[in-house]
Chain A
């Protein structure tokens, strides 16, 4: 079957999709966007977290056919998504969002992969780098999407709010303290900027 949906602000089409396939599989294997990670395939780990019509979900538990006509934001489009949000949203020109090609080639590298310098990152991505919240990096994309959504909803979260919002994302390096630091840092920078 064919599935038409919006990924990172751009219309995409996936062909030859098997009916029992997950959104995660479509993103990774059909559209070449491996940022969303595949681990538990049962909604336990949160590493495949994307936004579906604005809401964080485990993409491994969304059937591909269910996203027909709907909007998905993946970690590859997070920087552009956050930038657009900061500029007040809206997309009258139709030229915002992230093209599939840019999304496929997206990396945090820039001119210096240690600091992220030279790349346009979302506040939460920069904070993860600055706070040392990335170890093996496997859980990072899901955490970024979940944390970014929480900060959008709740710009001044308590530690309990952060723990709750990230309770569906597992880090098996167990780097949770640095991850907490990163989200606090992003929240602090966000409130300074206002």
Chain B
């Protein structure tokens, strides 16, 4: 095994081009487990810790550019207002020790359906900035996950940053597990209201071969909210609408039975989380609306 230690992004890209089988390592919270257990013996380890740029973030007009290695702890502490869904999801990642090392780039690189960041990224809307010596491109998050632990990266590409839309409305994240800390999601759900475009986006984790959006559920809810004038009148969501939304989210799942839970449990739990996160975010939207309009 060779340990490659590029000190700049350009050097890292050159190293990855020269050794496409090199395994990038940043926080190490996935890669080192595989090495410790002898599940993997990569020919090259490509250490990204010395590239300072990857640990930084910028808050722009519409997006946050989040460096691939920004640890979850920093997201929780610094980006709660801009990226509330991702901050909530970050808080559910493993333990403080892991959150101090792991970041969204690793979650995307591993592309496990159970990665905690995925539902939040899908719901908020995001693009993954990847680069190789051939050039840079941005992959929409909806096109990024291609299979179980597979993503749209080419062999010579590295993940540099994620561009996540700043929240323009309430966002929520919910996750089912046996305890609060150190839990791989049985299933997870992210929901974001986008009052600017009068749309709702979702993200489902650990209930299909890849993280997915519940698109039929989104379309149904968008139409129901529009039809009922909900965005303007700020009424509470009709229970029948919430139920239909929850059912459609369950239907968007394609889960398996495994040690963490059964397929039918996952389908059910996703529906429950969909209904709850919808209620939470909508109540928060109504509250904010009342404050703005000064009505009691």
Contacts and interface: CB of A to CB of B under 8 A. Distances in A.
Interface of A: 1, 18-20, 22, 41-44, 46, 49, 55-58, 60-63, 65-66, 68, 146, 164-165, 167-169
B244 interface: no
A17 B182 CA distance: 30
8 contacts: A22-B36, A43-B97, A49-B97, A65-B5, A65-B47, A68-B5, A164-B96, A169-B95
Interface residues on B, range: 20 to 34
A146 to B, nearest CB: 7
Contacts of A164: 96
A152 to B, nearest CB: 13
Given A46-B97, A63-B25, A19 B1 contact: yes
B32 interface: yes
A19 B95 CA distance: 26
Nearest to B36: A41
Given A41-B33, A61-B101, 13 more contacts: A19-B3, A42-B37, A49-B97, A56-B97, A57-B101, A63-B31, A65-B45, A66-B28, A165-B96, A167-B95, A167-B181, A168-B94, A168-B97
A63 B94 CA distance: 19
Contact of A146 (B25, B32, B96, B182): B96
A164 B182 CA distance: 11
A12 B36 CA distance: 24
A168 B96 CA distance: 6
A63 to B, nearest CB: 6
Contacts of B101: 57-58, 61-62
Interface of B: 1-3, 5, 25, 27-29, 31-33, 35-37, 41, 45, 47, 49, 73, 94-98, 100-101, 180-182
Interface centre among A18, A20, A60, A169 (most CB of B within 10 A): A20
A49 to B, nearest CB: 6
B3 A63 contact: yes
A146 B2 CA distance: 32
B1 A56 contact: no
Contact of A60 (B1, B32, B96): B32
Contacts of B182: 44, 167-168
Given A63-B28, A66-B47, A167 B5 contact: no
Given A61-B101, A168-B182, A43 B47 contact: no
B45 A20 contact: yes
A20 to B, nearest CB: 5
Contact of B45 (A41, A63, A68): A63
Contact of A61 (B33, B45, B47, B49): B33
Q: Which of B36, B47, B49 has the most CB of A within 10 A?
A: B36
B100 A56 contact: yes
Given A19-B2, A57-B101, A66-B47, A42 B96 contact: no
Q: Report, nearest first, the 10 A-B pairs whose CB atoms are least far apart.
A: A168-B95, A167-B181, A19-B1, A19-B3, A41-B36, A65-B3, A61-B32, A42-B33, A168-B97, A20-B35
Contacts of B41: 20
Nearest to B44: A19
Contacts of B37: 41-42
Contacts of B2: 19
Given A19-B2, A20-B41, A66-B47, A46 B95 contact: yes
A62 B180 contact: no
A43 B98 contact: yes
A129 B101 CA distance: 30
A62 B45 contact: no
A1 B97 contact: no
Contacts of B100: 55-57
Contact of A56 (B29, B31, B49, B96): B96
A66 to B, nearest CB: 5
Contacts of B32: 22, 43, 60-63
A43 B106 CA distance: 15
Contacts of A66: 25, 28, 47, 49
B96 A18 contact: no
A63 B47 contact: yes
Given A43-B29, A62-B28, A63-B47, A57 B97 contact: yes
